[in-house]
């Protein structure tokens, strides 16, 4: 059979309603990883739902313990062929954020796939059940179209704790590196640049969260009696924050910036337009690092944001000077930055500007920045495949603006990482009314069938050429 037949069968899989029924069964599992009483549901998703589906496609699978005590288990599934030329490692996560029952429009249940026009509502429909369901369905159609032989091996790893920071994933992959050995990492998560813009991204920005706080005294004191006599921690902290970023959003601490914006990254972003869908907020001109385009700001540079800032009781203010103030901040950073010294740079900057009284502490684990070299030959194969299937060029993002556990695959396993997302920016992931667009899902099934076919035709030569080369990843520090 032909590539065109594989793509047509992928579209027929959608049109027949089979994909919708399969996704409905996955969405019906309330896999809320934040809830301890859902542990059995998480395990059931792997054993009762993914397991049979994978076995249909010729995979052998096993559910393995998480190296972190009490963290959700992981699944590894392998499909091997005699004389396979190379191996693709795929990834998905079956866990979701809380369902937010009672808050969905029209009284919808988050655990029922409810189709309204082009929108398929349900928790996990976009993040990530719909995306790995698309890839598994497309893989199945490609296997059938190629007479049962892809020409390469495929390994899947599924985790059930991505929404709580992927506990144990890195240690798991390090422990089972032989089991997960591959030539290419190919997965789907996150949004396209826009609903009508097939997108490829090669890594993710890193994330470093930290808290700034000022605790001057116990309790609050009457603003009429003590105003002008007591230091106000809110003012003090506001000025400390303003010393880090200027009035136009430019970072003022050189140690928080990347070394450069590489020429091939700049070239990849030259024609990228962000915030182009209906409902997207209007971009503020002149905000951020001077001289950068909006795409370069989001995908090629670092940002420092205040995510929360409190003093007193904003919900019920009183006439009193607060005793404490605190701010929760986040740095999103790209490859070429020095994240291990971010806090040291901030501490030195605050001290130099007279804010020795402001406390600084890291909050949570740090996500590492990763980015595959855009000139890597796997990237060319994927871009050409998507363009051939859709008839239009795909958008290439050197890295996602947000963060995901790509560092596990890029650094711990040392793989070239390519992501082909099937959601879109306005999908309401992590909020009530999460949805997948049916039109995007149908196109994505075709895209992935074409890509899996092209890997069988051209991937072996690329894998052989790269095996003797130096490591192809541009890792974070």
Q: Confidence band (pLDDT; 50, 70, 90) for 477?
A: very low
pLDDT value at residue 1: 86
Q: Confidence band (pLDDT; 50, 70, 90) for 98?
A: very high
CA distances from 344 to 237, 253, 329, 374 (A): 18, 11, 15, 32
**Domains delineated in the chain:** 3-204+369-475 (3.40.630.10), 206-258+302-362 (3.30.70.360)
Cβ 6 vs Cβ 453: under 8 Å: yes
pTM of the model: 0.89
Residue 474 has pLDDT above 70, yes or no: no
Q: Which residue has the higher pLDDT, 277 or 8?
A: 8
Strands 370-372 and 203-204: antiparallel
- Which two structure tokens, joined as six digits, stand for 272? 């990228």
Name the β-bridge partners of 153.
87
Residue 60 has pLDDT above 70, yes or no: yes
Cβ 441 vs Cβ 15: under 8 Å: no
pLDDT digits (tens, 9 = 90+) for 337-367: 999 999 999 999 999 999 999 999 999 888 8
Q: Confidence band (pLDDT; 50, 70, 90) for 334?
A: very high
Residue 271: CB partners within 8 Å, gap ≥ 6?
A: none
Average pLDDT of 128-133? 99
Residue 79 has pLDDT above 60, yes or no: yes
CA–CA separation, 310 vs 238, rounded Å? 10
Residue 109: CB atoms within 10 A of its CB come to: 17
Strands 119-121 and 87-93: unpaired
* Residues 462, 467, 471: CA angle, nearest 5 degrees: 105
pLDDT value at residue 277: 67
pLDDT digits (tens, 9 = 90+) for 410-449: 999 999 999 999 999 999 999 999 999 999 999 999 999 9
pLDDT value at residue 472: 45
């Amino acid at each position: 059979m032909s590539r065109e037949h594989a793509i047509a069968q992928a579209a027929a899989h959608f049109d027949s309603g089979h994909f919708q029924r399969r996704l409905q069964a996955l969405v019906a599992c309330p896999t809320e990883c934040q809830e301890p009483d859902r542990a059995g549901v998480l395990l059931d998703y792997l054993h009762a739902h993914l397991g049979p589906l994978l076995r249909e496609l010729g995979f052998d699978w096993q559910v393995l313990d998480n190296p972190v005590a009490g963290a959700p288990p992981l699944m590894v599934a392998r499909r091997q062929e005699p004389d396979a030329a190379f191996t693709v490692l795929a990834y998905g996560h079956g866990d979701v954020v809380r369902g937010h029952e009672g808050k969905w429009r029209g009284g919808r249940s988050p655990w029922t796939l409810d189709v309204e026009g082009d929108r398929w509502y349900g928790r996990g429909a976009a993040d990530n059940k719909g995306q790995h369901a698309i890839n598994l369905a497309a893989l199945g159609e490609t296997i059938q179209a190629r007479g049962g032989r892809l020409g390469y091996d495929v390994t899947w790893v599924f985790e059930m704790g991505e929404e709580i920071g992927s506990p144990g994933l890195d240690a798991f992959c390090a422990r089972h590196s032989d089991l997960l050995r591959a030539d290419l990492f190919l997965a789907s998560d996150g949004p396209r640049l826009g609903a009508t813009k097939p997108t490829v991204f090669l890594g993710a920005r890193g994330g470093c969260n930290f808290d700034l706080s000022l605790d001057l005294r116990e309790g609050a004191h009457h603003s009429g009696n003590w105003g002008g006599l007591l230091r106000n921690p809110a003012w003090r902290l506001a000025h400390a924050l303003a010393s880090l970023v200027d009035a136009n959003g430019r970072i003022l601490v050189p140690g928080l910036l990347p070394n450069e914006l590489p020429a091939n990254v700049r070239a990849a972003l030259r024609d990228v337009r962000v915030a182009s869908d209906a409902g997207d907020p209007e971009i503020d001109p002149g905000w951020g690092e001077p001289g950068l385009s909006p795409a370069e700001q989001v995908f090629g540079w670092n940002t420092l944001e205040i995510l929360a800032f409190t003093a007193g009781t904003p919900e019920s203010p009183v006439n009193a000077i607060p005793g404490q103030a605190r701010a929760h901040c986040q740095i999103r950073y790209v490859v070429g930055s020095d994240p291990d010294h971010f806090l040291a740079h901030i501490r030195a900057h605050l001290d130099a500007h007279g804010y020795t009284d402001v406390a600084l502490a890291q909050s949570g684990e740090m996500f590492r920045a990763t980015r595959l070299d855009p000139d890597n030959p796997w990237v060319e194969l994927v871009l050409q495949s998507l363009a051939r299937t859709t008839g239009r060029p795909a958008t290439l993002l050197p890295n996602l603006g947000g963060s995901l556990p790509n560092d596990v695959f890029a650094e711990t396993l040392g793989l070239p990482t390519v992501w082909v997302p099937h959601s879109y920016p306005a999908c309401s992931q992590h909020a009530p009314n999460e949805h997948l667009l049916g039109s995007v899902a149908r196109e994505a099934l075709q895209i992935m069938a074409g890509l899996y076919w092209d890997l069988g035709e051209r991937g072996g030569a690329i894998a052989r050429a790269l095996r003797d080369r130096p490591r192809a990843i541009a890792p974070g520090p």
